A and B are shown apart, each in its own frame.
Chain A
Amino acid sequence: MNILAISAIYRFEMARFFRTLLQSFVSPVLSTSLYFVVFGAAIGSRIDEVEGVSYGAFIVPGLIMLSVMTQAISAASFGIYFPKFIGTIFELLSAPVTFFEIVIGYVGAAATKALFIGTVILATSALFVDLQIQYPLAMVAFLLMTCISFSLFGFIIGIWAQSFEQLQLVPLLIVTPLVFLGGSFYSISMLPPIWQTVTLFNPVVYLVSGFRWSFFGQADVSIGLSLFAIAAFTALCLFLVWRIFKTGYRIRS
């Protein structure tokens, strides 16, 4: 294992993050505050408690998930797409590193960024609502798993994309709708029965549900199913990464 190379990639990617630290920090704080003003104070004040939890607190896990997933995808996909776009990928390909070392470097950095953003949002949320985390270890585990799996997913998108438009396509057209419709801002028990069934085909439901369970001890679906879902998603991403490695798909001609 070329640890020095992994570390070099990780630090290089993190340097990109720190160059834009202000935006990285201010943007999630601002958007989270806006969500709380709109959903928590303006609309939330007219909504009763959801499953025994104030609406403001109820949306916190969903808000964190929304940002973590989109940030992980965006950081990882951009991280590997940009070298392809500007041509610096030659250096990665000609270095004595395996594809998995490259993946660990990029995905590790993207997951770190997403974790940072998630933590910032959690801290910001604590300023607006009274938060109690019932299962802190499970919360951290879910957060980490989401950061890693969605960074892997973002990495695959970055490898697949051949233009900036394609880079935005999957996050905008697939991930954002799935996250919004995945129970981030509501309990799926609030939906009509038919939509409850349809929603169960949305994989994000299981992630948000499991994460919310770690906060409040309540979930839309069983915690076992949530764990299975995130494990299956991670396994799928790892399989795709392995296939890319074997075939050199859109990397090595």
Chain B
Amino acid sequence: MRKCTGHLRDVYVAHRSQGIRLRHKPLPAMRMKSGDRMSAIVEVKDLRKTYAGGFEALKGVSLEIEQGEILALLGPNGAGKTTLISALCGITQPSSGTAVVGGHDIQDDFREARRLIGLVPQEVALEPFEKVLNTVRFSRGLFGKPRDDALIERILRQLTLWDKRDAQLKELSGGMKRRVLIAKALCHEPRILFLDEPTAGVDVELRRDMWQIVEELRRDGVTIILTTHYIEEAEAIADRVAVINGGEILLVEEKAALMKQLGRKVLRIDLTSAVDAVPDALAGYDLEMSGDGMSLTYTYDTRAERTGITRLLQDLASAGITLRDIQTKESSLEEIFVDLVKEGAA
């Protein structure tokens, strides 16, 4: 998983600089510069979902999703990510609590609320004998939009599906089917797009195309909520990160601030000569020694009042250890996430 971090970030940066247009008519009120924040487009208050068997999938989730942002919803399997999305989209009936989408209550004013939402589900579910073009047209009609062949052609071309428009869905590869799901979600021009594990099991090319589309949609002011296991993706494209576990939101934070506030840093100390063992005088620092004894690693919490670096360096000098180089590295979102989930479980 770590290997693709650099690649994805490169792809992301490359897409930001490209001028590829998906043509998604931006609403004037929603147009904004990338990164700007407006009012909340999704407001979830104390949303609970208890299934018939007694399993509490959502335990009072409250969350505000801002217009035009990309929110990554992170959580381990069974955390409640899909249940939350299902409740907001109308697939699951919440047990209690409220959710308002674009100013419309998802239950009392469900038509208007759902019109704003596009959903790319986790499972690939498509009518096997239907043709690509027809199934996409069907989705648009289902959302009460008149036929627009030009728009559908643009979306299918963007997703490299145009050549397959007359193919039956059962003839398509797994990746192609996922593209069809995206086309179906986009064809009614949603203002909010839910992507539930969109890149699980898809090839690099599709991932690249998907983030290209996500970036285009964001430019047009579409709010995007994505769940993913690939934390690198969240790290690369999300504006904010929400961590959910056990049906509860553990944290919602600006990605950069989250990494800054909660991030651990690693200080690597390269030595001029190898040591056999960490000197006893340095036992309190919980240092890790490399196999060849040429470097020591110190992990510290940037949130702590004292990081202990100054004292460590003094103690190293006192112990007669001479340094060749030192370097620091921020912990990744994945490491932060693992820590949070562990804390939540504790």
Chain A contact residues, CB within 8 Å of chain B: 2, 4-5, 7-9, 11-12, 15-16, 19, 82-83, 86-88, 90-97, 248, 252-253
Task: Give, as a whole number of angstroms, the nearest-CB distance from B196 to chain A.
Answer: 10
Q: B190 CB to closest chain A CB, in angstroms?
A: 11
How many angstroms from the CA of A252 to the CA of B119 in the assembled complex? 16
**Closest B residue, CB atoms, query A252:** B93
A-B interface pairs (CB < 8 A), number:
83
Q: In the bound complex, do residue B126 and residue A253 qualify as a contact, i.e. CB atoms below 8 Å apart?
A: no
**By the criterion CB–CB under 8 Å, are B184 and A91 in contact?**
yes
Q: Does B222 contact A (CB under 8 A)?
A: no
Please determine whether A5 and B93 come into contact, CB atoms closer than 8 angstroms.
no
Give every chain B residue within 8 A of A7 (Cβ-Cβ).
141
Chain A contacts for B115, CB-based, 8 A: 96
A2 pairs with B119, CB closer than 8 A:
no
Please state if B127 and A86 are interface contacts (CB–CB under 8 Å).
Answer: yes
Chain B residues at the A interface, C-beta cutoff of 8 Å: 51-52, 89-93, 110-115, 117, 119, 121, 123, 125-130, 134, 137-146, 184
Q: Is the CB of B128 within 8 A of A86?
A: yes
* B130, A12: Cβ atoms closer than 8 Å: yes
B125 touching A88 by the CB < 8 A rule? Answer: yes
- A15, A86, A95, A96: the one contacting B112 at CB < 8 Å is A96
- Measured between beta carbons, the chain A residues less than 8 angstroms from B137 are 8
How many angstroms between the C-alpha atoms of A92 and B130 in the bound complex? 16
Please name all residues of chain B whose beta carbon is closer than 8 Å to the beta carbon of A90 when the two chains form the complex.
89, 91, 119, 121, 125
CB pairs A–B below 8 angstroms (18 shown):
A2-B111, A4-B145, A15-B130, A15-B134, A16-B130, A86-B125, A86-B126, A90-B89, A90-B119, A91-B184, A93-B89, A93-B91, A94-B90, A94-B117, A94-B119, A95-B142, A95-B143, A252-B91
Residues of B within 8 A of A92 (CB): 142
Q: A95-B114, A248-B93, A253-B92 are in contact. Are A5 and B125 (CB under 8 A)?
A: no
State the Cβ distance, B234 to closest chain A Cβ, in Å: 23
A residues near B146, Cβ cutoff 8 Å? 4
- Asked if B110 contacts A96 (CB within 8 A), the reply is yes
Whether A91 pairs with B92 at a CB distance below 8 angstroms is no
> In angstroms, how far is the closest chain A Cβ from the Cβ of B167?
14
Check if B111 sits within 8 Å of A12, measured CB to CB. no
With a cutoff of 8 Å between Cβ atoms, the chain A residues found around residue B110 in the complex are 96
Residue from the set A8, A87, A91 with the largest chain B CB neighbour count within 10 Å: A91
Which partner residue on chain A sits nearest B137 by CB separation?
A8
Residues in chain B near residue A82, CB distance under 8 A: 127
With known contacts A19-B129, A86-B127, A90-B121, A8–B142 Cβ distance under 8 A: yes
Q: Are B90 and A93 in contact (CB under 8 A)?
A: yes
Residue of B nearest to A83 (CB): B127
Do residues B92 and A97 form an inter-chain contact, with CB atoms below 8 A?
Answer: no
Enumerate chain B residues within 8 angstroms of A95, measured Cβ to Cβ.
114, 142-143
Chain B contacts for A11, CB-based, 8 A = 138, 141
Docked CA distance A7–B147 (Å) = 11
When distances are taken between beta carbons in the complex, the residues of chain B under 8 Å from A248 are 93
Q: What residues of chain A lie closer than 8 Å to B51, measured between beta carbons?
A: 253
Min CB distance, B187 to chain A, in Å?
A: 11
Q: B93 to A16, Cβ gap below 8 A?
A: no
B139: which A residues are within 8 A, CB to CB?
91
Q: A253–B145 Cα gap in the complex (Å)?
A: 27
Would you give the shortest CB distance from B21 to chain A, in whole angstroms? 26
CA distance A94 to B123 in the complex (A): 15
Docked pose: A150 CA to B119 CA in angstroms: 34
How many Å from the CB of B128 to the closest CB on chain A?
Answer: 7
